[in-house]
A and B are shown apart, each in its own frame.
Chain A
Amino acid sequence: MTATDQQVAEQPVREEPDTTVLRVANLRVAFAGTEVVKGISFSAQAGRCLAIVGESGSGKSVTARTLVGLTGGNSRVSADAIDLDGVDLLRTGERGWRSVRGSRIGFVLQDALVSLDQLRRVGDEVAEPLRVHGRGTRRSRAAKAVELLDAVGVPEPAVRARQRPYELSGGLRQRALIASAIALDPPLLIADEPTTALDVTVQAQVLDLLAAAKERGTSIILISHDLSVVARLADEVAVMRDGEIVEHGPARRVLREPRHEYTRMLLAAIPSAHTRDTKLSRPTEHRPQRTVDRGRPVLEARRLSKVFRGPDGVDRTVVDDVSFELFGGETLGIVGESGSGKTTTARIALAILAATAGEVLLRGAPWSARSVGERRPLRKQIGVVYQDPLSSFDPRWPVGRILTDALATGTRPPASKAEARGRAIRLLEQVGLREEHFDRAPLRLSGGQRQRVAIARALAPEPSVIVCDEPVSALDVSIQAQVLDLLTDLQDELGVSYLFISHDLGVIHHVSDRILVMKDGRVVEHGSAADIFERPQHEYTRRLLTAVPRLELK
């Protein structure tokens, strides 16, 4: 079945036919001869939200940019129609595009920290569309900017307007970005991953803001990789893969009764409470019963705290009185929003960072208290997997060298080159890679493959604990599922313990036996996964849980 067939079959019923703001038919985009958007069609209606969902490389972002004529150099765009309110944008020149951008179509990019000009005042950024399109005077624009900031719920808008983006929190920045996009009240708002880098609680607020715009009659095209986010806002969902729309229909229907296999796979891959005992990438497969050795903890943190002195000379406590125990074969999840101190805790546990107070014990023996030299031979007992595997590899080294290097630090260093190679290849196979990857440079691997290499490296010295610091946060949903499955498989097979750090409650819920919830450097709540998710005690935990976007539709 082709995408086009499906679309025709699934054209949503139009309640009011003349509310169509944008109509796109048979859009094709090619870069240097390679087609990345392969003839897709959709339309956007006033007061409704169309979500385009897909993983990296699906062509969703290119599509979004093409709608404002910013596909980029070296590209070729063709379509049967790109009509905005009856105007054929395909026939418009650069000048025509400029008159449309900002005034007829508002555009919100992800990560407002880099999407706003850091050197200009927030007010100027917000009011820029007004200036570009020649509306108002300098003074009236400044007033309007404050008004807009106020409208998107920025507290003290007049103060904020005079500040610069880096002086604002992530949520406020994203609001400012939206304020700028709606400054001229465009009938169409395109939001490209507007909540991706945000903490869940902030994410929820931004989604509410977009929902409000929708209420006011703005048509929204939401681009996202995250089905849960989409579920909260979209009236209609188009699922893209490899430049094609594989499924398109009303949000409720697509998310509840996915017809396309890919959509089903995507949905299944989302970690959540339901997936705890299954494999994400193989939903029918169940995890075997785990055996946790509740004897002596393999890793124990006692009242850790860490104080950093800022450049202004003021001390800030980043980790405050954190204690935990990690037992053999167990996964201890640490969850928290940015700035909660979870990563610092992980680094202290690894003894890469010295705590200001408190102590870490490894297999019951002193760990953080030892000198660097004494600690070195013990390092093989504790491994680490980072969020960004690529930056954790020496760019000059191929995969094989990375692994043999790690093997050499282990309990049983290989006696010969041949043995090292053999064992490295076995590790590769263990993490689902093949011998051919041995000579590959990490740069030439996909994100998922890189993380597998990172896991293989962590496993090489045969540690009893692996600290996983946001190991799947940078990955697409389907890849994330595979990597999470790999981690649980390895645990089942090797009995290794994980200290698992993540901001994603779904992921934490999926993998953890016990959970610490951190906020502002403190553990606000700890307990079993079931306790935390089903009977949260602390107010903050409850707030977190409500903010998590869920697939269930309102």
Chain B
Amino acid sequence: MRYLLKLLSAVAVVIAAASVTFFAQLAVPGDRATTLMNLQTGQDRKWTAEELAPLNEKYGFDDPIVVQYLDYVTGLFRGDLGTSYTQKRPVLEVIGGQLLPSLTLTVLALVVAWFLALGVTLLTVRRGRFLSGLGATWEAMTASLPHYWVGIVLLVVFAVQLRVFPVIGGTSGWGTVLPVLTLAIPLAGFVGQVTREEFEQVLAQPFVTTARTRGMSDLAVRLRHVLRHAVLPAVTLSGWALGALISGAVITENIFGRPGIGQVLVTAVDTRDMPTASGVVLVVATVYVVANLLVDLAYGAIDPRLRRAT
């Protein structure tokens, strides 16, 4: 029953996000038919009512907004996200092709960020002023890096100069390395920061001393005892990051010539392709919601006390 409620609320969040997108786009000034006409002809002018009539007719732009919205939402429940105004394909298909590369990129970035962050944190927290300072500075610095700056620097250094990785690897494995790093490095900074804070607090806990009095080495204590306690904030952050990265990856995709949902979103907004934009939001919101359900589960697995609380 509780899970059913959770599921319902998750669905509600997703639908709400898509609905907000629907109405927000209507609030954007400018007429959809005009945009489509200009897009088809590469112009930025006004069009006469007769010129716009066929498009208005075809897409039902003249219908009352409530009707358009109800059409859209009832479509959602049938699994129909509508058809892209510009690409003439079902939105599901437009997004479907781009979702996997985006998810791959995002999930890999998250995983790599975790490894980077935990590596640095495990090795430097409370390891003397110099090492801790170095670790903390590294984290704060990487967290301050603008994505596309990282991307362009990685590109020039590793792809253009050293030629270790391809410049335009697309979705190939080797070509995914630099895009993943571009997203992972700043994210690692954030993950590291929250983990470090927690790690420091946990290291001061009596049970850590207890473990030490049993003869455990420092590293073993960190791995076996402290880590599990210290990862919770980073787990929370990950749930958020998965949702945020998937659309935020547009810059990375742009630089490395990767397909992805971010570019679809930007284009859809530019072209007033409402079904596509709403569809992207629907998908991103779903990813966010699923990620957070996973985070909940992870919480329970990591800290069984929380299982009872929720």
Contacts and interface: CB of A to CB of B under 8 A. Distances in A.
Complex contact flag A–B (Cβ < 8 Å): yes
B302 to A, nearest CB: 7
B214 to A, nearest CB: 4
B215 A102 contact: yes
A102 B214 contact: yes
Interface stretch (B49-57, B86-94, B182-190, B202-210): B202-210
Nearest to A106: B213
Contacts of A274: none
B145 interface: no
Contact of B207 (A97, A107, A114, A164): A114
B210 A177 contact: yes
B229 A129 contact: no
Interface stretch (A51-59, A115-123, A481-489): A115-123
B212 A164 contact: no
Interface in B161-210: 205-207, 209-210
A31 to B, nearest CB: 15
B225 A117 contact: yes
B305 interface: yes
Interface centre among B128, B205, B304, B308 (most CB of A within 10 A): B304
A33 interface: no
| Majority DSSP secondary structure for residues of B touching A | helix
Contact of A119 (B209, B214, B303): B303
Interface string A152-167: 0000000000001010
Contacts of A105: 213
Interface residues of B, number: 24
B303 A128 contact: no
Given A98-B216, A98-B217, A107 B206 contact: no
A61 to B, nearest CB: 11
Contact of A70 (B126, B212, B220, B225): B212
A132 B213 contact: no
B132 to A, nearest CB: 11
Nearest to A100: B215
Given A109-B206, A118-B207, A119-B229, A166 B214 contact: no
Interface in A177-218: 177, 180-181
B228 interface: yes
A118 to B, nearest CB: 7
B5 interface: no
A102 B213 CA distance: 6
A311 B126 CA distance: 38
B230 to A, nearest CB: 11
A475 interface: no
A116 B217 contact: no
A99 interface: yes
B4 interface: no
A542 interface: no
B298 interface: no
A73 to B, nearest CB: 8
Contacts of A478: none
A98 B215 CA distance: 4
Given A164-B304, A166-B305, A115 B214 contact: no
Given A119-B229, A164-B304, A114 B205 contact: yes
Interface in A113-148: 114-120, 128-129, 132-133
Interface string B235-271: 0000000000000000000000000000000000000
B206 A115 contact: yes
B211 interface: yes
A68 interface: yes
A320 interface: no
A326 B216 CA distance: 55
B206 A111 contact: yes
Given A129-B215, A132-B214, 7 more contacts: A98-B215, A117-B207, A119-B228, A120-B225, A166-B305, A180-B214, A181-B213
11 contacts: A70-B209, A98-B217, A101-B213, A103-B215, A114-B205, A114-B206, A116-B210, A119-B302, A132-B216, A164-B305, A181-B213
